[in-house]
Amino acid sequence: MIELRNIRKTYQMGDVKVEALLNVSLKVFPGEFIAIMGASGSGKSTLMHVLGLLDRPDSGEYFLGGEAVTELSDKELALVRNQLVGFVFQQFHLLPRMTALENAELPLVYAGKRHLKEKAKREIEGVGLEERMFHRPSELSGGQQQRVAIARSLVNDPPIILADEPTGNLDSKAKEEIISILKGLNRKGKTVIIVTHESEIASRAGRIIHMCDGRITDDKIVSDETEVSGTVLREDLIKNVSIKPKMVVKGSIEFFDYLRQAAFAMLSHKMRSFLSILGILIGVAAVIAMLAVGRGAQESIEQQLQSLGSNLLIVRAGSSKVHGVALETGSFTRFNFQDVEAIKKLTDEVKIVCPSVTGRGQIVYAGENWNTQVEGAGINYAELRSSIPTIGRFFTEEEVRMRQKVALLGTTVVKQLFGDKNPVGETIKINLINFKVIGILPAKGAAGPRDQDDTVIIPITTAMYRVLGKDYIDSIYVEAKDADSVDSAEEAINNLVIKNHHLVTNDQKDSFQIHNMSDIKNAFKSTTRTMSLLLGSISAISLLVGGIGIMNIMLVSVTERTREIGLRKAIGATNRDIMAQFLIEAMLMSFIGGLAGIMLGGGISVLITLVAGWAVKISLSSVVLAAVFSLIVGVIFGLWPAQQASRLNPIEALRYE
């Protein structure tokens, strides 16, 4: 079944080399019960680890079922350990967070045979623990824990059982129970190899091997019982230990199994897991809240910009210089209705034109009065400046032509003069002239220091000739046909004004201005995007800090669970299995932290709105971004600890204190 040829194994202990095995050769036949004895440091445990494929020899040959295993990869060795070898350790190596039954099921997990968990139950019952299978190791005696370890070693029905000092930590009664169980397994055809320093235990074996200073000094058969069983079972058992790829088949481990193991690990260290989750939670909440603030500010600014109108140009009179002296604005170039009509004729570039004049006026209603801006406008003002009344109507072309005394009030004026009363249909005085209120303008909020709702709109002709006493137009609002036509419309209007007003010199050409509101909009949008990006970046830093916290916690976890990792590898876990388990654990903490962070971020956003009155908006994209980013953080910062865990040598891990 097993043949070793000239096996050597050397350990480096600081500057000293320790020869643990020196040219050891050994043959093990099917169905034998072998006891390996020797003083501490004689090499018996090292020989056991080599036999169990937990450790690689420095030189020599190892044949299992007639086939060489020395050059097998770590993955292949894990498969062989899982299916062909069952381990029983002196320290039991039971996972404290699992029940006896769950401990016994572990090899099935790594064999991809979780669906056969009834087998684990039968093995637990077979070692006499049917009434204790749902108890944790801390609730079991030493002998009971060792019986759980034996059940675990048998769950995949391996032909070889390796027991390293299986009775070393037990009392006399428990020792007898364990050795009886091992003897019974041997009678059923299992090949049993135990390491012991107790002569009374070795006397129960059919073959005793003595070791000293890394060499086999004595090898004798003390019972013929194994000779008979070995002869009967040899051919069948050799077939069972074939390591050809087609014979060593491992089922796939389901994601649920990895997830279950990760959840067990988290629940067994609740405070440590909570602190890891807390870092991600704070980071995700910060991302959600900050992006919500940025998005809310952006939409608030966009609403204010919308009130300016789309594709809008504003033509205004500027100042000019005569002999180097700057004159008053509008003193050289003044616009009139002929200019408005001329601009309307630029049909290739221009869609809507609306003249405007502005001034201050004292508004009086009953016992209330208010000083506000009075703006005279054309009938296109409502569409062009996003000022369609929320209540009432806008004035008509007939009312403009007839200089009718009708007015629309901004919400600030309504509040100051009427309070909660509906002003439509009421009569007010503007500079002592009676006006009928026909509508209320939509609320637009503040634009810098100016309140856009503190205004009254009246027909432009009424404003010029009845209220403000002007015979010229202050501004001309022009809406280009589309966004692509804004620049060409601006150039066409500029050339038209220069031509119609005979502006020759550069100073004269500076006597009017054309403001492109698209540039202002783009500047504001760029600013808000930059602000959102800045807020998001700052909050992302806290998420990265949370990721570093996860990495630190996972590294601590790897250190604390080193012996557990060694056990998992001994019962068949591959490097990939260990890496997947720790990586999924990190991702699970990130996922939980992400979900909690999303809820907390939403709550903080609502709180900001209630307390500070800021406009905030949580977008689906920000939620998805935060969730995905938290998972990415879990993967990135969990990867290194997972790799560290997967690279541990099983023997060094099992010996870790």
DSSP 88-121: EETT----TTS-HHHHHHHHHHHTT-GGGHHHHH
Average pLDDT rounded to a whole number, residues 286-294 = 77
pLDDT over 80 (residue 318): no
Query: Which residue spans within 382-493 are E strands per DSSP?
Result: 391-392, 406-409, 427-430, 433-440, 446-447, 450-451, 455-459, 475-480
Residue predicted with more confidence, 229 or 558 = 558
Residue with token string 């001994």: 570
Q: Which long-range contacts (CB under 8 A, 24 or more apart) does 416-423 make?
A: 416/368, 416/370, 417/363, 417/365, 417/368, 417/369, 417/370, 418/365, 418/368, 422/391, 423/365
Torsion of CA 67, 69, 73, 77, to 10 degrees: 100
Transcribe 481-523 into DSSP letters.
SSGGGHHHHHHHHHHHHHHHTT--SHHHHTTEEEEEHHHHHHH
Lowest mean pLDDT among 260-264, 492-496, 584-588: 260-264
Q: Which long-range contacts (CB under 8 A, 24 or more apart) does 261-265 make?
A: 261/109, 261/581, 261/585, 262/581, 262/584, 262/585, 262/588, 263/588, 264/95, 264/97, 264/98, 265/97, 265/557, 265/561, 265/581, 265/585
Sign of CA dihedral 494, 499, 500, 501: positive
Q: CATH number of the domain at 2-245, out of 2.40.50.200, 3.30.70.260, 3.40.50.300, 3.40.50.80?
A: 3.40.50.300
Please report the pLDDT score of residue 93 as a whole number: 86
Please report the pLDDT score of residue 252 as a whole number: 52
Please report the pLDDT score of residue 301 as a whole number: 66
Residue 577 confidence class, pLDDT cut points 50, 70, 90:
confident
Domain edges within the chain: 2-245, 266-304+523-655, 334-500
Beta carbons within 10 angstroms of residue 51's beta carbon: 23
Contact present, 641 and 647 (Cβ < 8 Å) = no
Please report the pLDDT score of residue 98 as a whole number: 84
The Cα–Cα gap between 205 and 191 comes to 11
To the nearest 5 percent, what fractions of the chain are helix, strand and coil? 50, 20, 30
Structure pTM?
Answer: 0.61
Q: What's the pLDDT tens digit per position in 382-429? A: 988 888 999 999 999 999 999 999 999 999 999 999 998 999 999 999
Beta carbons within 10 angstroms of residue 88's beta carbon: 26
Residue with token string 């109108």: 309
